[in-house]
């Protein structure tokens, strides 16, 4: 979610009106590609606690090649200290890749100001999106919004790509990112759009501005409660989650409230594609509830982290959709990570209890946890 909060301060509507409008808009969406719902997994998948914290709220996790957990600590959640941290043997966060890149006194262009998303590729390359915006209601720091490429084996920064100022609008927030096919695809969660960066040339294009697939049409509900911003209005978060297929062909994304869309990256990497083609390109993939994370598993299965009920669903390559677990410990399951050997790591982030989504009051119930689910040996659905 991390990357998702700043829109909570924008696009304010009364909750009742938004619910009505959101419901009618969603009803007008085209039917998702045929999927077969299966009964919930019985018994449900087991949760194994692997880390906890009584001081830091984590909203994303990846597992480094050496097995350590790398976590993102969003500024808007009230965190202090490093924005990106690796958990040491005692579970304590240590700045990553080093203290210099997390030093608030360093220039914004050469440090992590406010990391918003991260992606670990199979070769150990880590990509980090820095929103450059520590204050959700403010403006990004000059030189702050950027893409950072790191070598996790050498634990060092390799290159940065600053986002051009003309790629952002007043109210923009660089919220989520995936890298594939020599491009970075950045979702603007403040003024909904897709920013595409060709990495070898640094040519940047802003596409799909206000496309309905990128734009929130519903409120965020957790256990029946509508999330509200510090002003008491309904919190709205546009595009906030992404993942990409292993071959880089398909980009899956959603506004926090759902639903999930699928987009052929051919449309994003080809500069000759027309705005109309881009507008019509996203396919409604599944009408999900509000999600804190989308993860593509080793076999292409999609895992959806449902914040409304504390559940994890899987959408399998054969289009079977199934709940694999619901558990009160999964309070706001956020940005998860699937390993090659079939382990899904899920932070229970409690983001609805942070000030930007809880009417200005931080009510996190410490500690927060990261859980592991063995998805490699889940039985097939039974109908």
Q: In the predicted model, is pLDDT for residue 185 greater than 80?
A: yes
Residues 333, 348 contacting (CB under 8 angstroms): yes
Q: What mean pLDDT is predicted for residues 71-90?
A: 92
Q: What mean pLDDT is predicted for residues 330-358?
A: 97
Mean of per-residue pLDDT scores for the chain: 91
Q: How far apart are CA 10 and CA 2, in angstroms?
A: 16
Q: How far apart are CA 120 and CA 286, in angstroms?
A: 25
Helix then strand count (H, E) for the chain reads: 3, 27
Does residue 355 lie within any of the structural domains? yes
Residues 5, 356 contacting (CB under 8 angstroms): yes
- For 52-83, the DSSP string reads EESS----EEEE-TTS-EEEE--GGGT--S-S
Q: In the predicted model, is pLDDT for residue 330 greater than 70?
A: yes
What lies within 8 Å, CB to CB, of 208 at 6+ separation is 192, 193, 194, 214, 278, 279
Q: In the predicted model, is pLDDT for residue 315 greater than 50?
A: yes
> What is the DSSP pairing of strand 60-63 with strand 69-72?
antiparallel
Does residue 97 lie within any of the structural domains? yes
257-295 tens-digit pLDDT: 999 999 999 999 999 999 999 999 999 999 999 999 999
Does residue 293 lie within any of the structural domains? yes
What lies within 8 Å, CB to CB, of 289 at 6+ separation is 258, 306, 307, 308, 309
Q: What is the pLDDT of residue 137?
A: 67
Does residue 9 lie within any of the structural domains? no
Does residue 71 lie within any of the structural domains? yes
Does residue 6 lie within any of the structural domains? no
Phi, psi of 366 (to 5 degrees): -75, 150
CB-count exposure of residue 224 (10 Å: 0-12, 13-18, 19+): exposed
Structure tokens at 300: 């292409």
Q: What is the pLDDT of residue 27?
A: 38
Does residue 12 lie within any of the structural domains? no
CATH of the domain at 291: 2.120.10.30
Residues 330, 55 contacting (CB under 8 angstroms): no
* Preceding omega of 367 cis (within 30 degrees of 0): yes
Does residue 2 lie within any of the structural domains? no
| Structural domain total, the chain | 1
Q: What is the pLDDT of residue 7?
A: 39
**Which range of residues forms the domain containing residue 160?**
47-374
Supply the pTM of this predicted model.
Answer: 0.91
Residues 291, 256 contacting (CB under 8 angstroms): yes
């Amino acid at each position: 979610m991390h990357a998702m909060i700043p829109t909570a301060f924008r696009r304010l509507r009364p909750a009742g009106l938004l619910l009505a409008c959101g419901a009618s808009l969603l009803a007008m969406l085209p039917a998702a590609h045929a999927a077969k719902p299966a009964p919930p997994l019985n018994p449900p998948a087991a949760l194994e606690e692997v880390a906890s914290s009584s001081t830091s709220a984590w909203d994303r996790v990846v597992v480094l090649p050496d097995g350590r957990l790398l976590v993102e600590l969003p500024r808007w959640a009230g965190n202090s200290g490093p924005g990106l941290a690796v958990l040491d043997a005692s579970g304590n966060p240590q700045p990553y890749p080093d203290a210099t890149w997390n030093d608030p006194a360093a220039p914004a262009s050469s440090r992590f100001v406010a990391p918003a998303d991260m992606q670990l590729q199979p070769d150990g390359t880590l990509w980090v999106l820095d929103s450059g915006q520590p204050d959700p209601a403010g403006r990004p720091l000059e030189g702050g919004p950027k893409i950072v490429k790191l070598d996790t084996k050498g634990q060092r920064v390799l290159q940065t790509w600053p986002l051009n100022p003309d790629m952002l609008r007043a109210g923009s927030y660089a919220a989520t990112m995936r890298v594939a096919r020599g491009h970075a695809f950045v979702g603007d969660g403040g003024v909904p759009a897709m920013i595409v960066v060709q990495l070898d040339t640094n040519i940047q294009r802003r596409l799909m501005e206000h496309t309905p697939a990128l734009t929130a049409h519903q409120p965020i509900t957790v256990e029946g409660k509508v999330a509200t911003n510090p002003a008491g209005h309904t919190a709205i978060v546009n595009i906030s989650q992404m993942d990409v297929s292993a071959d880089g062909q398909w980009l899956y994304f959603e506004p926090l409230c759902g639903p999930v869309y699928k987009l052929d990256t051919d449309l994003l990497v080809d500069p000759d594609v027309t705005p109309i083609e881009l507008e019509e390109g996203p396919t409604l993939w599944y009408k999900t509830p509000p999600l804190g994370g989308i993860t593509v598993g080793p076999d292409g299965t999609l895992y959806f982290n449902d914040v409304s009920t504390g559940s994890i669903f899987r959408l399998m390559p054969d289009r079977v959709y199934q709940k694999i677990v619901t558990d009160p410990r999964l309070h706001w399951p956020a940005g998860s990570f699937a390993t090659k050997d079939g382990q899904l790591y899920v932070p229970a982030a409690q983001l609805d209890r942070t000030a930007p989504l809880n009417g200005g009051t931080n009510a996190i119930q410490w500690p927060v946890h990261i859980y592991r689910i063995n998805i490699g040996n889940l039985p097939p659905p039974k109908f």
